[in-house]
Structure 1
Amino acid sequence: MLRIFHNTTYEFIKHWKLAVILTVAFIMAGLVTFGVTGGVNYSIEFTGGTLMQVQFKQVPDVSLVRSTLDKAGITGAEIQQYGAATDYTIRARDEKQVESQAAGAEGVSKQIQAALDGQFGTGNVSILRTEAVGPKVGSELRSGAAMAMLIASLFTLIYLAIRFDWRFGAAAVLATAHDILVTFAFIKLFHIEVSLTVVAAILTLLGYSANDTIIIFDRVRENLKKPHKGLTLGQLLDRSINETLPRSIMTHATVLAATLALLVLAGEVIRPFAWVMAFGVIVATFSSIYVAGPILLWIESKYPRNDDSATALAAKAGKDTTPPST
C-alpha cells in the first residue's frame, strides 16, 4: 500500500500570522472589486434573459455581429468568444428583452437567429445551445439559491454544535464561513459567472470544508484524551494535523485531479463549477489548518476547560496556549 507523509513533524500553527495576512489581503481585494465594479456577475438563470451559443463557419467580425443584433432590436447584447475562434456566446439581458421572455421564452432567441441568418446566410451560423429565462423565473431561482445556501449553513451549524464541544464547533463554523467568504472574493476577482452550477459548487464546498476540519478536530479530541507531557495545545494541533496528513493529501489530490479534468476537458457550461471547486479544495485545506486551528487556540485561551485535558493542564501550568508568534 502506498504510504506518503507518514510520521511527519511539520510545524503548521506557527505560521498563523502569515496565513491571516494572506486571507485578509485576498478578502479585501474582493471587497474593493465589489465596491468598484458592483455586485457579482449573475447568469441568465438569475437575471432573466436569453443566452445562445453559436458557431460560425468562418471567423466573424464581432463588430458586424453586434451591429446586426442592434439593427434587429437586440441592443446591449454581450458577445464573447469561447473555445475556438468561430464559437461565441450571446447574452441578451436588456430589461425590455427580459420582460419579453414572460410572453414567449423563445421569442428573443428566434429573433437573434433570424438576424444572424439574414446577415451571414442560412446555414452559416449554427445554434449550439439556447437558454431563455423570464424575469419571474430568474427572481425565483435567485431566491431559491439563497435559501438553499442558508439552510445548508444552518444544518451544518447544528451538526457541528451536536458533534463537538462548543469551542471546537465555533472554530469549525468560523473556518467554514471564512471559506465561503474567500470563495465569493475569488468569484468576484476572476469575474466568474454565478449560475446554478456555481451555487452547487459553493454548497459542495460548504460540506467539504466542514468535513475537512472535522477530521482534524476529531484527531485533536482523541489526542486530548491521551497523556501528553509538556505539550501545549498548539503543539497538539500540529501533531494531529501531521497524523491526518496522509489521508488529507490523498483525498485532496483525488478531488483536485477530478476537478482539473472537468476544468480542462468539460464544456463552457461546467467550467465555472470546476473553477470554484478547484479553488475550494485549496481553500478548505488551508482553512482547516491555518484558520480553524488558530481560532481554536484563541477560544481556548479565553475560555479554558475545567477538565484534565491537555489544554486545561497547560493552562493550569501557566503555559501559553495562544497562537504562537512566527
Structure 2
Amino acid sequence: MQKVEKPEKTPLKGKSQRVYSSYLFKRIHYDFIGKRKIAFIISIVTAVVGLGSLIIKGGFDLGIDFRGGTLVELRFERPVQVDQIRETLRTVGLGDSIIQQFGSDREILIRVERGISGEDASAKVIEALRNGLKDDPFEVRRVESVGPQVGEELTRQAQLALLFAIAGMVLYLGWRFDSKPAISMIVISVATILLSSWGGISIPLLTSVALIAVLVACVWFDLRFAFAAIVALIHDVIVTIGMFSITNREVTLPVVAAILTLIGYSVNDTIVVFDRIRENLRLHYRTKPFEEILNDSINQTLSRTILTALTVFIVTLILYLRGGEVINGFAFAMLIGIITGTYSSIFVASPILVVWQNISKKKSYAPKR
C-alpha cells in the first residue's frame, strides 16, 4: 500500500496575523460613552479656565516674532542671577527688559521691547553686560530682531494660516460626511477664504463667525458627524492655547506651526473612530442600541488610537526635554495637542453623537450607504 504524504500546513491567505497590540487591548472593553458626562465636565472646565486666563491677562503673551523687538541669548561661564543682569542693564536704560533663565543658571534670555532699533538694542545689552560683569565672561548664542511693521505682518499671516487650515478641515469634513447636504459648509468655507483677502477685516472675528455659521449649518442639515468633528477640533485648539496662557508661555511662530499640525492630527484621529462607527451602524443598527455600537467602535479602534498617539508622544516628549529653548514652545504645544486630540476623539466627538441622537429622538440612525 502506497504511503500518502500529508501536505505541509501553510497559513491561510487573507487571515489576519495577531500582533502584540491586539492582545494588549483584546479583553479590554471600557464604557467610554457611559462616562460622557464626566468627560464633558472636564472638557468644559478646562476650556473655561483657559479662556478665562486669556481674558484676565488681556490676550496671548506674544513673542518677539509678533510684538517686534530684540532677543539676545547668552551663555555665561559661571552661574548668574537675573537681578544682576537687570541692575547692569539699568545703566543703559534697559532695566525693564524681560530677563529669563532657561536650561541652566548660566543661560539667559533677554527680550527688549520694540522702540529701539534691533542693532542698537543688542549692542547696548552686550556692551553693558561686558562692562558690568567683567568677572563672568559670556558667549552670545543668538540675536534676533523684528521691527514693528514686520511683527504686525507676521501676526496677520499667522492668523490667516490658522483660518485657512480650519477652513480646509471644514471643506474636507463637508466632503467626507454626507457630501450633498454639506454644500452649505463648503460655501461658507470658500466665502470665508475670499473675505480674508480684504485687508480691513479682523481675522479672529471672521474665523469665529464662520465656525458658528458652519455649526448652525450642520444642525440645520443634520450633519451630526461633521458637527461632532468640528466641535472636537475647536475643543483641541482652545485647550492647547489655553494651556499656553495658564503656564505663561509665549506664542511664537513655531507654536503656530504646532497648532496647524494639531488641527490636522485632531481631525484625522476623529475620522478613524467615526469610520468604524459608521461601519458598525450599517451592520448592527437593527440589533444593538446606539450607545453600545459607539462603545464597541471606540474599543475596536482603541489599540490603534493609543499606540499611534504614544509613538508621537514619546518623540515629542524627547524633543521637549532635550530640544532646547528655541523649539520648546513647539514641543509643548504638540504634547498638549496629542493628549487633547486623542482624548477628544474618544470623550468629546463620539459622545456628541449620543447627545444628538437623544435630542433628535429618531428611530433609525444608520448612515446612508
CA 1:39–1:171: 2 relative to 1, 3 Å: same
Q: Is the 8 A contact 1:7 1:243 kept in 2?
A: no
Structure 2 residue corresponding to 1:114, chosen from 122, 127, 138: 127
Deviations 1:109-150 (A, max 9, x none): 111111111112398121111111100111111111111001
| d(CA) in 2 for partners of 1:311, 1:61 | 64
- Correspondence 1:265-280 to 2 at 5 A: 265-280=322-337
Structure 1 residue corresponding to 2:355, chosen from 298, 310, 319: 298
1:319 aligned partner:
none
| d(CA) in 1 for partners of 2:357, 2:112 | 54
1:100 aligned partner:
116
2:49 aligned partner:
29
| d(CA) in 2 for partners of 1:13, 1:48 | 47
| d(CA) in 2 for partners of 1:156, 1:36 | 31
Gaps of 5+ in 1: 313-326
| d(CA) in 1 for partners of 2:168, 2:366 | 30
| d(CA) in 1 for partners of 2:122, 2:104 | 22
Q: Tell me the CA shift for residue 184 of structure 1.
A: 1.5
| d(CA) in 2 for partners of 1:244, 1:61 | 51
CA 1:134–1:122: 2 relative to 1, 3 Å: farther
CA 1:159–1:145: 2 relative to 1, 3 Å: same
- Correspondence 1:40-189 to 2 at 5 A: 40-93=60-113, 98-101=114-117, 105-121=118-134, 124-165=137-178, 166-189=223-246
CA 1:305–1:152: 2 relative to 1, 3 Å: farther
| d(CA) in 2 for partners of 1:230, 1:311 | 15
Q: Tell me the CA shift for residue 309 of structure 1.
A: 4.9
| d(CA) in 2 for partners of 1:302, 1:107 | 64
SS state at 1:5 partner: helix
Q: Is the 8 A contact 1:171 1:292 kept in 2?
A: yes
Amino acid at match of 1:100: I
SS state at 1:100 partner: coil
CA 1:45–1:122: 2 relative to 1, 3 Å: farther
Question: Which of 1 and 2 has greater Rg?
Answer: 2
Amino acid at match of 1:240: S
Q: Tell me the CA shift for residue 85 of structure 1.
A: 1.2
Q: Is the 8 A contact 2:285 2:365 kept in 1?
A: no
Q: Is the 8 A contact 1:6 1:245 kept in 2?
A: no
Name the TM-score, length of structure 2 as normaliser.
Answer: 0.78
| d(CA) in 2 for partners of 1:6, 1:249 | 13
Deviations 1:151-184 (A, max 9, x none): 1000100100110132211110111111111112
Name the TM-score, length of structure 1 as normaliser.
Answer: 0.88
SS state at 2:144 partner: strand
CA RMSD of aligned residues (A): 2.0
Size of the aligned set, in residue pairs, is 304
Query: What percentage of residue pairs aligned between the two structures are identical?
Result: 39
CA 1:311–1:11: 2 relative to 1, 3 Å: farther
SS state at 1:8 partner: coil
Gaps of 5+ in 2: 1-18, 179-222
Greater relative CO (CA pairs within 8 A, separation 6+):
1
